């Protein structure tokens, strides 16, 4: 591929990012085209027609909240005087509460599920890149794991730490409850190429926070979560396929598990003017500096990852089954 053609592809990706989402998002949307509404059609109307008093309300993905939103909200308020109340609750809340008018805007680490009416009417704008990381108790001697070994653990084919070069002890796999959480849905897509994949879990958790805290306490635990929240815990973050999830490795696409973090916007929100001010801010050089200062890669800083997502999806489909 020539340099000129590659640059044109990146430019097209940038336009796509600002208007709708990533190449991955388009792929997901196409998969549900038979049940989803036509492009541009809002199938869910905002129920809160009256303007909500007080600060803007942002809800959603806990990883987005910790990775950039708290810091970005503070910087935005200092710049504009517009206050933002930041609440967690998960990616599903971030999408559905915004669609239903219960929040002014939100955050998600997964795309809209095609055909689900409760998630229609929103626009998702990618603003950062997050890595999914494998975490263990700090006392665990295993420091590296392969993607194929991850598949083995989640499928119940690898059940003892000895199989991973660790002690002769059972593996306690911790996972998020359900299959539509941001982390759970992303694992199913990137690791298995199958949104319906079931996991053989030792214990399930309603959100990432309790899951991460449980790994801090259990010497035999293993789990996957977002790097932005994992960094704030007393856990070990493993190398994956021999690559550490460093800022540069994520930005360059050398670390294999990454996904966009989205802002969720409802164009019918009574406070859309203020929300759009924040969107403009987060894409600005100042907003991107805030994201970088938190150790997170701004979406527009690594547009080449959009192209790599095609290969990422193909690899997951080809290797979704455990090979050994």
pTM (predicted TM-score): 0.76
Residue 321 placed within a domain:
no
Residue 10 sits in the same domain as residue 37 = yes
Q: pLDDT class for 234, splitting at 50, 70, 90?
A: very high
Provide the sign of the torsion angle of the four alpha carbons 279, 284, 287, 288, taken in this order.
positive
Phi, psi torsion values for 31, nearest 5 degrees: -65, -25
* pLDDT the model gives residue 52: 63
Average pLDDT over residues 89-113: 93
**Does residue 323 lie within any of the structural domains?**
no
Angle, CA of 206, 180 and 296, to the nearest 5°: 80
Domain count, the chain: 2
Residue located via tokens 């593996």: 171
pLDDT score, position 106 = 97
Q: Is the pLDDT of residue 226 over 70?
A: yes
On whether both 74 and 23 belong to a single domain, the answer is yes
3-state secondary structure of 213: helix
Q: What is the pLDDT of residue 24?
A: 34
Query: Percent of the chain at pLDDT above 70?
Result: 79
Averaged pLDDT for residues 190-214: 90
Least confident of 2-11, 121-130, 253-262: 2-11
pLDDT at 179: 75
Among 210, 231, 255, residue at a domain's last position: 255
The whole-number pLDDT of residue 324 equals: 52
CB 267 within 8 A of CB 42: yes
Closest CA to 57 of 275, 321, 276, 282: 275
In a domain, 322, yes or no: no
- pLDDT tops 70 at residue 87: yes
Q: Contact 109/91 with Cβ under 8 angstroms?
A: yes
């Amino acid at each position: 591929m020539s340099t000129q053609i590659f640059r044109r592809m990146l430019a097209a990706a940038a336009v796509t990012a600002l208007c709708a989402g990533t190449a991955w998002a388009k792929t997901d949307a196409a998969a549900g085209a038979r049940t989803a509404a036509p492009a541009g059609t809002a199938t869910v109307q905002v129920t809160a027609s009256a303007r909500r008093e007080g600060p803007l309300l942002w809800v959603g993905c806990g990883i987005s909240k910790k990775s950039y939103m708290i810091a970005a909200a503070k910087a935005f308020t200092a710049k504009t005087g517009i206050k933002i109340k930041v609440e967690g609750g998960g990616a599903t809340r971030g999408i559905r509460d915004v669609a239903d008018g219960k929040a002014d805007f939100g955050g998600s680490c997964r795309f809209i599920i095609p055909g689900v009416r409760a998630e229609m009417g929103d626009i998702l704008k990618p603003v950062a890149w997050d890595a999914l990381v494998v975490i263990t108790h700090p006392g665990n001697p295993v420091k590296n794991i392969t993607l194929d070994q991850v598949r083995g653990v989640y499928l119940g084919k690898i059940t003892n730490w000895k199989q991973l070069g660790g002690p002769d002890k059972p593996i306690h796999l911790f996972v998020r409850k359900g299959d539509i959480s941001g982390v759970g849905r992303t694992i199913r897509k990137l690791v298995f190429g199958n949104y319906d994949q079931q996991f053989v879990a030792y214990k399930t958790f309603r959100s990432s926070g309790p899951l991460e805290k449980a790994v801090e306490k259990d010497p035999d635990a293993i789990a996957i979560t977002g790097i932005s929240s994992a960094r704030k815990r007393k856990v070990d973050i493993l190398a994956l396929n021999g690559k550490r999830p460093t800022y540069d490795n994520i930005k360059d696409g050398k670390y294999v598990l990454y996904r966009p973090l989205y802002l969720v916007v409802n164009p019918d929100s009574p406070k859309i003017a203020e929300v759009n001010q924040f969107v403009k801010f987060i894409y600005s050089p100042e907003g991107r500096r805030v994201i970088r200062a938190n150790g997170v890669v701004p979406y527009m800083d690594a547009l080449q990852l959009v192209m790599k997502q095609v290969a990422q999806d193909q690899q997951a489909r080809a290797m979704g089954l455990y090979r050994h």
